């Protein structure tokens, strides 16, 4: 199944790598650099099968993005990603997300793990 994916990460290199991997697998990605922009898009009319969001971002964090995605009808599947921060390990940043997201991935992860996770949440 080809999925329409909203991809939100504040690091451009990460966005490009994820978007390229998803496109190579035939998915239609919409890469966004700001959590607030992702929230605005989620409040619009565009339908997404999956939202992949980083948790730690400077303007709006991934938990806010997840909450906005959960209000959608139909609700997209949610994959939370994080590498942690200077003061907080990824296991902590992803802990809260695990309660709301369909899947989590700890950075760094490889392309195969990303694509397997996408297929898992679509199944």
Token duo for residue 109 = 């992860």
- CA distances in angstroms from 9 to 1, 52, 56, 79, 81, listed in the order given: 24, 8, 9, 12, 9
Give the per-residue pLDDT at 118.
Answer: 98
Cα-based distances in Å from 49 to 42, 57, 77, 83, 105 = 12, 22, 6, 24, 18
- For 56-80, how does the pLDDT look when each residue is reduced to its tens digit (9 = 90+)? 998 999 999 999 999 999 999 999 9
Q: How far apart are CA 111 and CA 50, in angstroms?
A: 17
Give the per-residue pLDDT at 89: 81
Q: What is the pTM of this model?
A: 0.95
Higher pLDDT, 83 or 50: 50
């Amino acid at each position: 199944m080809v999925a329409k994916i909203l991809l939100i990460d504040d690091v451009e290199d990460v966005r490009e790598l994820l978007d390229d991997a998803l496109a190579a697998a035939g998915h239609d990605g919409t890469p966004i650099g700001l959590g607030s922009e992702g929230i605005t898009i989620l409040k619009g009319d565009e339908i997404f099968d999956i939202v992949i969001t980083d948790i730690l971002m400077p303007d709006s964090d991934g938990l806010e993005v997840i909450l906005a995605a959960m209000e959608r009808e139909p609700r997209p599947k949610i994959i939370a990603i994080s590498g942690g921060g200077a003061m907080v390990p990824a296991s902590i940043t992803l802990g809260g997300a695990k309660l709301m997201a369909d899947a989590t991935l700890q950075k760094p992860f490889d392309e195969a793990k990303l694509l397997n996770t996408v297929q898992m949440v679509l199944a």
